[in-house]
Amino acid sequence: MTMTNPSLLVELFVEELPPKALKKLSESFAAGIYDHLLANDFLNANSVTSVYASPRRLAVHITAVRSLSVPSPRPPKTLMPVSVAYKDGQPTAPFIKRLLKEGFHEGVDFAEVIKERTVIEIEGGKEVVKFRDDLAKGSTLSICLQGAIEQSLAKLPIPKVMTYQLESGAQPGWTSVQFVRPAHGLVALHGEAVVTNVSVLGLEADRVTTGHRFEATLPKITLRDADSYAAQLRDEGAVIASFAERRAELLNQLNAAAAREGLKPIEDEALLDEVTALVERPNVLLCRFEPEFLAVPQECLILTMKANQKYFPLLDAAGKLTNKFLIVSNISPADPSAVIGGNERVVRPRLADAKFFFDQDRKRTLQSRVEGLAKVVYHSKLGSQGERAERVRAIGHAIVNQLSMATLPYTVDAQDEFAVLDSKVQQAALLAKTDLLTDMVGEFPELQGVMGGYYARHEGLRDGVAIAIEDHYKPRFAGDALPRNHTGTVLALADKLETLVGLFGIGQLPTGDKDPFALRRHALGVIRILTEKNLPLDLPALLQAALPAFGDLLTDPTEALRGFFADRLAVTLRDQGYSAQEVDAVLALAPTRLGDVPRRLEAVRAFAALPEAPALAAANKRVGNILKKSPEADAHVSPVLLQEPAEQALHAAMQQVVPAADAQFAAGDYTGSLQTLAALRAPVDAFFDGVMVNAEETDLRLNRLGLLAQLHAAMNRVADLSKLAS
C-alpha cells in the first residue's frame, strides 16, 4: 500500500569532496533542503531527516513529504523603491542582486521572475517593488524542491569553489559552473517516483547512483525508492552512506585491531572525522615501523603519522608510543599484504626525516639560537621575536614580584625561593622561543614549545626550566592541561599577557568571528591559570605591570582588556554550568582576583537555595534603587535617631550579624558569610513594612538611608545579590 506522504531522497554525486569539510557540507546540504520544504508546508510535524555523506556524495532522506502544499498566504515583501529598481524601464543591477538574495540564481529568466513574483504598490506615498513570497495553492513538490536544492547549494560552507565545464547539454565543454567539486549525478526520489523537472549544475534528477569505485557489485545502482537508498548502497555499492555509521564502524575496527595487540589507538576526534570522510567503507589494517625510530620524541612521530599519512599510532598501557600503527584502507583485498607493505614503505621516509631533524637540532644549543630571534619578525609594530622574548622576561619578573608581595600566602613563601623562581623564569623566557629556529619546528609548527622542552632536557638545563619551556603555551585549547610547575605558570602568564597587551595596545582587537591572533584563547588561558591555580594575583595589576615592557610602543589598553576579560570570563562560567543570574551577581562587583570567583559562585549558588534568598534578593534590589536616587546618603547611622521599632530591630540585628559575616568574608568563607546574612530577612522585611525611608525630617531620612547603605554594603561583598531577584 502506497503511503500518502512518502519519503524524499535527494543525492548529489560528485568527485571526492574535501575531507575536513565533508561533515559540515552534508549537514548544511540537508538542513537547507529540509528548512525550505518546511517553510513551504511540504513537511509534517513528524517528518524526520537522515543525513548521508561519503567522499563522493551529499544526500538527505526526509520522511513524510507532501506532493502538494497549501501554505498560508504571506503578504508581499518590500524590496526597494521603483526609482531604484528600474532605469529607463529596465531592471537595475541592485534590483537583480536583490532578487538573487531571494533564492534565484544567475541564468534564470529574471523577466519572468519579475512578472510572476513582483508587484508595484504605493507605500508611504512612494511606489515600491514588492516580492510575492507565497507559493500558489497546490504548488508541486517539483517546484519547491528545485528552489530548495538551489538555495541549499548556494548556502553551503564551501572552503574553496571550483570552476569546471559541463560534459553534457547544448554545448558540452563550453558551459562553466561553479561548485566545490565537479558534480556527475543528481537523484531526487519521492517514494518510488523520480521528482521531475528538477535540475542543478547541469544535471537532471534521476534514480541512478554510483557505488564504491572498485568494490561495487554493479557499475550503476538503480534505486527502487527513497527508503531503499542506504540498504542498496551497502549491499550493491559497498558503501556505508551514513557518516555517523561509517565513523562508528571505523572506531569499532580501530579498537578491535588495537585490542588484539594489547594496545590502544591514539584518541583524536578530528582525525577520526577526517578519515571517515576519506573512505566509503573502512578496512583497518595493522602496520609496523622499525623500533629504532622510537628514539625520536613520540610527539614528532605521532604528528607526522597523523598529519601527513592519516594513520592511527598505537600506544601501550602507559601511553607510550609503540612501533605499530593502524591504517584505514578504502578497499578490502583478500590478501592485504600489498596494502600493508605499501604504507610501511611510505611512512619510513617520514620517520627518517623526523629523526634527521631531531639529530641535527641537537647539535646546537638553545642559547646559541637566541641571537637569531632578532631576525624573526613577530609583528611589524611590535618588533622581532627577540624583542618579544625580552618583554616576556620583564613581565615574568613583575609577576614574580607580585607573588612575593601578595597578602595571601603562596607556595613559594621564602624570599630566597622567589629569587630562584625569578632566575628560572628569566632563563626560560629567554630560551622559550628559540625552538622556532629549529628544523623540527620548521617542519611541524605544532611542536613549538614541545621540542624546546626536549632540547632543554638534552642540554641538562636546570630543573623546571625545560618543563616551563614546554608548558609556556599551555593551555593551548579548551580542556588542555595547565603548566605543571611555578616557572611554567609564571612564564605562561607572562607570554599570554605580552600577546594580549601588545596587540590590544596597537589596536589589533578581535572582531566578530575573526581572531587571527587567537586573543580569545590567550585570555581564556590567563583566566584558567588564575582561577584553577588560585593565584593571589589581581588582574588589573597584572595588566599594568605588563605595560612598562613595551616602552612607548603602545597606547594603554588596560580598560579595553578588562572588558574583554570580563566577557570571556562570563562565557566561560556559563559554559561550566553556572546560571546567567549567578554569573551576573558575581561579576557585577568586577572581582579583580579571579581565583576568588569559583568560591564566590558556589557561595551565591548555596545562598540562592536558602528559603530566605528570594526575599533578601528583592529587598537588596529595592535598597539599591533607593540609594541610586539618594546620592546624599552615606553609611553613617546615629542610634538616637532610630525612632521606629522596626528600624531599631534591623540596626540591632545588623550589629550582631554583620561583624560575624565580615569575619567569615575576610577568612574567605564566602558561603558561610552569605548564610550568616540570611538571618537578616525577618528584620529587613519588617523594616520595609513599618518604616517610611523618605521621611519629611531631613535627619531621619538621612539616618534611614545610612542604615540602608550599611545593609547594602554588608549584603553585597560576595556578590550583587539584587541580580538574583526575579
**Looking at residue 412, what is its pLDDT?**
63
Q: What's the residue count for the chain?
A: 726
- CATH code that applies to domain 602-724: 1.10.730.10
How many Cα atoms are found within 13 Å in the side-chain-facing hemisphere of 332? 11
Q: Is the pLDDT of residue 177 over 90?
A: no
Q: How far is CA 363 from the centre of its chain?
A: 40
CB atoms within 10 A of CB 107: 8
Whole-number mean pLDDT of the chain? 90
The answer to whether 180 and 156 are in contact (CB under 8 A) is yes
Tell me the pLDDT band of 2, cut-offs 50, 70 and 90. very low
Tell me the pLDDT band of 134, cut-offs 50, 70 and 90. low
**Looking at residue 3, what is its pLDDT?**
47
Long-range contacts of 505-513 (CB under 8 A, 24+ apart): 505/547, 505/550, 505/553, 505/554, 505/555, 505/556, 505/557, 506/379, 506/381, 506/382, 506/553, 506/554, 509/560, 509/564
Q: Is the pLDDT of residue 126 over 90?
A: no
Mean pLDDT along residues 140-157: 91
The continuous run of DSSP H or E covering 68 comes out as strand 68-69
Mean pLDDT along residues 415-436: 89
Report the range out of 29-43, 124-138, 173-187 with the highest average pLDDT.
29-43
CA-based nearest residue to 126, from 161, 82, 158: 82
Q: Kindly tell me the number of DSSP H helices and DSSP E strands found in the chain.
A: 27, 24
Cis amide bond preceding 475, omega within 30: yes
**Looking at residue 389, what is its pLDDT?**
95
Tell me the Cα Rg of the chain.
Answer: 34
Rounded Cα distance, 542 and 393, in Å: 14
Mean pLDDT along residues 33-47: 91
pLDDT in tens, 79-123: 889 888 888 888 888 888 887 777 666 666 777 778 877 888 888
What Cα–Cα distance (Å) separates residue 25 from each residue in 18, 243, 272, 278?
A: 9, 12, 17, 14
More confident residue, 92 or 223: 223
Q: How far is CA 276 from the centre of its chain?
A: 22
**Looking at residue 386, what is its pLDDT?**
95
**Looking at residue 104, what is its pLDDT?**
67
The answer to whether 57 and 209 are in contact (CB under 8 A) is yes
Q: Is the pLDDT of residue 22 over 80?
A: yes
**Measured on CA atoms in the order 670, 672, 677, 678, is the torsion positive or negative?**
positive
CATH 3.10.450 corresponds to the domain 8-69+140-235: no
Rounded Cα distance, 677 and 670, in Å: 11
The domain limits of the chain are 8-69+140-235, 77-133, 243-361, 374-577, 602-724
CB atoms within 10 A of CB 82: 14
**Looking at residue 691, what is its pLDDT?**
81
**Contacts for 4 with CB less than 8 Å, ≥ 6 apart:** none
Q: Is the pLDDT of residue 468 over 80?
A: yes
Q: Picking from 2-11, 39-48, 375-384, which range would have the lowest pLDDT averaged per residue? A: 2-11
Mean pLDDT along residues 239-254: 97
**Looking at residue 95, what is its pLDDT?**
87
More confident residue, 502 or 690: 502
**Looking at residue 410, what is its pLDDT?**
67
**Looking at residue 106, what is its pLDDT?**
62
The answer to whether 194 and 203 are in contact (CB under 8 A) is no
pLDDT in tens, 548-607: 999 988 889 999 999 999 999 999 999 999 999 999 999 998 999 998 899 999 999 998
CB atoms within 10 A of CB 331: 15
Mean pLDDT along residues 299-313: 94
**Looking at residue 601, what is its pLDDT?**
93
The answer to whether 320 and 301 are in contact (CB under 8 A) is no
pTM over 0.85: no
CA-based nearest residue to 237, from 63, 52, 60: 52
Instruction: Give the architecture (CATH level 2) of 374-577.
Output: Orthogonal Bundle (1.10)
pLDDT in tens, 510-535: 888 888 899 999 999 999 999 999 89
**Looking at residue 99, what is its pLDDT?**
79
CA-based nearest residue to 133, from 145, 122, 146, 147: 147
Q: Is the pLDDT of residue 46 over 80?
A: yes
More confident residue, 185 or 3: 185
Question: Cell digits for 447?
Answer: 611542536
The answer to whether 703 and 641 are in contact (CB under 8 A) is yes
- Say what percent of the chain tops pLDDT 90: 62
Q: Which letter, b or e, does each residue of 656-684 get, where b requires 16 or more Cβ atoms within 10 Å of its Cβ?
A: ebbeebbebbeeebbbbbbbbbbebbebb
Q: ∠ CA(216), CA(222), CA(228), 5° rounding?
A: 90
Q: Is the pLDDT of residue 416 over 70?
A: no
More confident residue, 623 or 251: 251
The answer to whether 647 and 687 are in contact (CB under 8 A) is yes
**Looking at residue 688, what is its pLDDT?**
84
Phi-psi region of 187 (alpha: psi -120 to 50; beta: other; left: phi over 0): beta
Q: What are residue 458's DSSP bridge partners?
A: none
Phi-psi region of 87 (alpha: psi -120 to 50; beta: other; left: phi over 0): beta
pLDDT in tens, 534-543: 899 999 999 9
Report the range out of 232-236, 694-698, 700-704 with the highest average pLDDT.
232-236
- Say what percent of the chain tops pLDDT 70: 95
Q: Is the pLDDT of residue 135 over 80?
A: no
The answer to whether 692 and 647 are in contact (CB under 8 A) is no
**Looking at residue 642, what is its pLDDT?**
84
**Looking at residue 608, what is its pLDDT?**
87
Mean pLDDT along residues 331-341: 95
The answer to whether 707 and 650 are in contact (CB under 8 A) is yes
Cβ burial, residue 130 (10 Å; 0-12/13-18/19+)? middle
**Measured on CA atoms in the order 193, 195, 201, 204, is the torsion positive or negative?**
positive
pLDDT in tens, 628-652: 888 777 878 888 888 888 888 889 9
Local structure of 478: helix, strand or coil = coil
Question: Cell digits for 78?
Answer: 518590500
**Looking at residue 208, what is its pLDDT?**
96
**Looking at residue 136, what is its pLDDT?**
45
Mean pLDDT along residues 455-472: 92
Q: Is the pLDDT of residue 303 over 90?
A: yes
